[in-house]
Structure 1
Amino acid sequence: MTCGNISHAYVIFGATGNLATHKLLPALYQLHCQGQLAADVEILGCGRSPFTQATWQAEVRAKLVGLVEGDAHLDGFIQRLDYLAGSLTDPGFYQALHTWVGDNGCENNVIFYLSVSPDLYVGVTDGLANVGLLQETSGWRRMVIEKPFGYDLPSAQALQRSLEQHLKEEQIYRIDHYVGKASVQNLLVLRFANVILEPLWNRHYIDHVQITHSETVGVDGRASYYDRSGGAMRDMIQSHLLQVLALLAMEPPVSQTAEALRDEKVKVLKSIRPVDVSQLATHAVRAQYAGYQQEEGVTAGSHTETYAALQLYVDNWRWQGVPFYLRTGKGLAEKRSMVSVCFKPAPVSLFQGQGASALPNWLMIGIQPEDAVRMEITAKVPGLEMRTRQITMDASVSSPGERKAEAYEELLLDVIKGDRALFLRYDEVTAAWQVVDPVMQAWSLDEHPPLQYPLGSWGPKAAERVFGDSLRVWRHSLACNNCLAGKA
């Protein structure tokens, strides 16, 4: 399969940074090993470090050794690499880049990947435009930008105004690597390839939905950036978790085309009920892990949250009245991403007092580390007595020995193919900001410090208040024996 075998040049700004060296270059190497890159594809790294082509190739080789068993393809990949040193604020750098593209543009098809700080997006775009590198006179030019797409709704709108001075919307690829995970994409398959779920996938049968992303590490040396960028709500909920919500709640698209898929996601995001400031105490929780204030780079007295939980409603016919609970946090008990769908109880219980009959059915979808789908149902306990218990129907999504592609592999290949289905459209970005902006604005005006929680816990006990119902608790695991856990 060589559907990505299109002649082009891949230009990576910030090529010596963490994202490029740990994600982008390894992903491109994997595509090379799988025969997904045309023979003449060139990869240009751009950065301030004074590498030559030879020293850059040696640097990348050292990082990639051992990534693929045998490394039989490593020499061929290294030969694709070139390097251009310079400052992104220097007009001469863009002139030199223009010359390089003219010599190595691979039929004038060029991808510019901005693996740099978001505050440089506009400057780099202007620099490229000033030397004519964004004009599609022959071939195509595409730009990939990483989240965050703005700091809030006004800044996202300002960024778009700047980009659209030089780029058409179809040239912009707003990448959210979380959506590129195979387990996240599997949500679409579960929804629309299995007729057994569709009759139940609505307000008549679903009690509530939980979406969790937890990390065991703290800010892990990124305290200064994290504190500046605005915390858990901006970092995870505005992008990743709202994307998962949209995939779970969307209507069937008319086709698998990019615009059809994104149309349905936008409809969901626009249907989310705004959180009123008067409801903030019961619909949103923010907290910091103990010790965050002492992290190097954190502003004294910072209110930046490392934990956020949110209750949302999708006001449409399918989901009216069904709460969606989103939470994310750092320094928590386990590293885990999962979706927990709780179904309503049977209208009449025939086995009251005989075991697990009062427990609801759950559909559990593991995103990481488990890539699995589990259904919790009630069954009879073996023996003469009529006793029931909760059991789990477990299906692992991947088979032993199957290689799981990293999210960036598929996303980088999609850019080559021009497939924008897994990338965010501008109206999708603004709709997501409109969901979280009122909460963040209210928090910014709140003089009370965030709640505290100990490292290694499941966050503040007060996070349970978003349920507004003592019978609902957070699911921490795919394991059935944690069905009624909820301990902080």
Structure 2
Amino acid sequence: MNADSCTYVIFGSTGNLSRIKLMPALYHLDVANQLPQGTRIIAIGRRPWDQEKWLAELRDMIQTKVKDDFDEKIFQRFSARMYYHRGDIDQAECYSELAATLNQKSLFPKNIAFYLSISPADFGPVMENLSNNHLFDEESGWRRIIIEKPFGYDLDSAQALQKRISHYLTEEQIYRIDHYLGKGMVQNVLVFRFANVMLEPLWNRNYIDHIQITHSEALGIESRADYYNSAGALRDMLQSHLLQMLALVTMEPPVSMEAEALRDEKVKILKSIRPIPKEAVHAQAFRGQYAKGVVDGEKVNGYLQEENVPANSVTETYASMKLYIDNWRWRGVPFYLRTGKRMAKSQSTISICFRHPPLQFFRDTNIQCMNPNWVLLGIQPEECIRIEMTVKEPGLEMNTRTRSLDASFRNHDEKAIDAYEDLLLDVLKGDRSLFLRFDEVEYAWRIVDPILQTWAVERDYIATYPAGSWGPEDSRLFDKDAQSWRSSLTPECK
């Protein structure tokens, strides 16, 4: 699929996401000669900068990110694509002046992608203003819009936001971005499952005991208190990233890698997840909040001591839940998802635990207990696929140990590609397979809504866990005493 030259219009271009992710990603695409010739980038910001000041800031963004790999010649080519448009997104002139700029036919390609790196509360007003200035009209080229999460605050607000933006755009024009889906290892989950025929007969309730998906962060909330205190861990990570990973691990093989076929199968899985009735919320979900502790040898504050956090906040910084998928393949298999801030380590992993082998064969030996087989998928920072197997120890006695078969995702000489590079290029190609369709978003909200509603009225208490730990004690989630959280990608002795 070829990419068309286009004009990338980035709202919020002076903000944190643009500085850390978007501008470096676009620069790397230029380095790799993946930006089509003629592609231009309009950076929209409130700050009273001129073109020269913007390019100086851009240089700083790129040099900070790429460090020793900075190439002056390529940066000059990249900066020639840039145009700084000073404007306040709350004012009508910003859009009329933008329309006038884009109408300079010789300068800007007629295919236009609008990236909304702004507060979700501004999505509707910005789209209305763009529509009023005929900037969504596709008479002379395509129009696409990229929306960052969160898409809504709950099911009702997501549906209301969708209703509003569908006044201006068709579903084919909307690219709801989940940067997790752009990660190479997440995409490798599909290849691992569907390109290796030996796995398919085992990938079901007959052989798999349970599946865990963990996203842990050693960092706290940093300077995001205003956003985080109104969102919490369940909205911030579980509803979006972790449910998407669950769908990729459990979905049926799509008929092709074409976008709609892939997304159809993900929706089928989300629709098959057993609803959590409100009376079952405490049995299937748990929340916690980090207290003071030690991270990397340094004492750190608890959540309530963070700047701009209300003293009586019960916002969760840790959330876990148990789900069941009521279909033929997964009936009865529990799925455990967890995420948290200020945990012992920053990592994202998918851990698949197979059933215990029958021990009758070993009943007259020293083997009393045998670890189950695991398939471990490291998403970040360690990208790996490991299959743990039981082998006999050398020696005269019948003793066993666990060994892992490693299938490294990346060779030592291969550089990691940031997820945003992949996704920004897919927008140019019109490839929507790694972007969310609205029914995916809607069914994900349906899954977590009962939990959000229950927690919203329980304002008097929240469990705590020491910063630097693996979270609060939530073992009541597990179906069996033998099940517990897996936090390591190396063999664990039980």
TM-score, normalised with respect to structure 1: 0.96
Matched with 2:59 is: 61
Matched with 2:467 is: 455
Shift, 1:354, TM fit:
3.0
Shift, 1:459, TM fit:
0.5
- Where relative contact order (Cα < 8 A, 6+ residues apart) is larger, the structure is 2
1:161-216 CA-to-partner distances (Å, cap 9, x unmatched) read 11000001000000000111001111101110001110000000000000000000
Q: Pick closer, same or farther for the CA change 1:49–1:70 going to 2, 3 Å.
A: closer
Shift, 1:7, TM fit:
1.6
Residues 212 and 351, structure 2, Cα contact 8 Å, conserved in 1: yes
Matched with 2:297 is: none
Out of 23, 46, 62, the residue aligned to residue 21 of structure 2 is: 23
Out of 313, 327, 333, the residue aligned to residue 322 of structure 1 is: 333
State the alpha-carbon separation in 1 of the partners of residues 459 and 111 from structure 2. 52
SS in 2 for 1:401: coil
Alignment of 1:380-459 (within 5 A): 380-459=392-471
Shift, 1:351, TM fit:
2.3
Alignment of 1:190-269 (within 5 A): 190-228=192-230, 230-269=231-270
Task: Give the AA of the match of 1:475.
Answer: R
Residues 334 and 479, structure 2, Cα contact 8 Å, conserved in 1: no
SS in 2 for 1:358: coil
2:120 counterpart of 1:118: yes
Residues 63 and 70, structure 2, Cα contact 8 Å, conserved in 1: no
State the alpha-carbon separation in 1 of the partners of residues 373 and 139 from structure 2. 57
Task: Give the AA of the match of 1:73.
Answer: I
Could you list the runs of 5+ residues in structure 2 that have no partner in the other structure? 292-301
State the alpha-carbon separation in 2 of the partners of residues 454 and 180 from structure 1. 32
Residues 217 and 342, structure 2, Cα contact 8 Å, conserved in 1: yes
Task: Give the AA of the match of 2:11.
Answer: F
Shift, 1:281, TM fit:
2.0
Out of 358, 374, 393, the residue aligned to residue 347 of structure 1 is: 358
Shift, 1:65, TM fit:
2.3
1:288-344 CA-to-partner distances (Å, cap 9, x unmatched) read 001211211112311110000100000000000000000000000001100000001
Residues 31 and 409, structure 1, Cα contact 8 Å, conserved in 2: yes
State the alpha-carbon separation in 2 of the partners of residues 60 and 107 from structure 1. 22
Shift, 1:28, TM fit:
0.3
Q: Pick closer, same or farther for the CA change 1:160–1:483 going to 2, 3 Å.
A: farther
Shift, 1:54, TM fit:
1.4
Residues 355 and 389, structure 1, Cα contact 8 Å, conserved in 2: no
Matched with 1:84 is: 85
Task: Give the AA of the match of 2:331.
Answer: Q
Alignment of 1:156-175 (within 5 A): 156-175=158-177
Shift, 1:279, TM fit:
1.8
SS in 2 for 1:62: helix
Matched with 1:272 is: 273
Task: Give the AA of the match of 1:236.
Answer: M
Residues 354 and 388, structure 1, Cα contact 8 Å, conserved in 2: no
Percent of paired sites with the same residue? 53
Shift, 1:225, TM fit:
1.4
Residues 367 and 398, structure 2, Cα contact 8 Å, conserved in 1: no
Q: Which moved more, 1:44-53 or 1:351-360?
A: 351-360
Shift, 1:70, TM fit:
4.8
Residues 155 and 449, structure 2, Cα contact 8 Å, conserved in 1: yes
1:215-242 CA-to-partner distances (Å, cap 9, x unmatched) read 00110121121002x2000000000000
State the alpha-carbon separation in 2 of the partners of residues 340 and 306 from structure 1. 22
2:309 counterpart of 1:298: yes
1:18-52 CA-to-partner distances (Å, cap 9, x unmatched) read 00111000000000011111221110100110111
SS in 2 for 1:308: strand
Matched with 2:150 is: 148
SS in 2 for 1:100: helix
SS in 2 for 1:128: helix
Alignment of 1:332-371 (within 5 A): 332-352=343-363, 354-355=366-367, 357-371=369-383
Shift, 1:468, TM fit:
3.4
Matched with 2:189 is: 187
State the alpha-carbon separation in 2 of the partners of residues 102 and 397 from structure 1. 45
Q: Pick closer, same or farther for the CA change 1:356–1:382 going to 2, 3 Å.
A: farther
1:122-156 CA-to-partner distances (Å, cap 9, x unmatched) read 01000100000011112100000000000000000
2:297 counterpart of 1:285: no
Task: Give the AA of the match of 1:63.
Answer: M
1:80-124 CA-to-partner distances (Å, cap 9, x unmatched) read 111111111111110100011111574410000000011000010
State the alpha-carbon separation in 2 of the partners of residues 217 and 356 from structure 1. 41
Matched with 2:2 is: 3
SS in 1 for 2:69: coil
Matched with 2:390 is: 378
Task: Count residues with an aligned counterpart.
Answer: 479
Residues 116 and 148, structure 2, Cα contact 8 Å, conserved in 1: yes
State the alpha-carbon separation in 2 of the partners of residues 190 and 134 from structure 1. 39
SS in 1 for 2:218: coil
Shift, 1:277, TM fit:
1.9
State the alpha-carbon separation in 1 of the partners of residues 183 and 493 from structure 2. 26
State the alpha-carbon separation in 2 of the partners of residues 58 and 88 from structure 1. 23
Residues 47 and 87, structure 1, Cα contact 8 Å, conserved in 2: yes
Residues 281 and 450, structure 2, Cα contact 8 Å, conserved in 1: no
Shift, 1:483, TM fit:
4.9
Task: Give the AA of the match of 1:52.
Answer: D
Residues 343 and 361, structure 1, Cα contact 8 Å, conserved in 2: yes
Matched with 1:14 is: 12
State the alpha-carbon separation in 2 of the partners of residues 89 and 378 from structure 1. 62
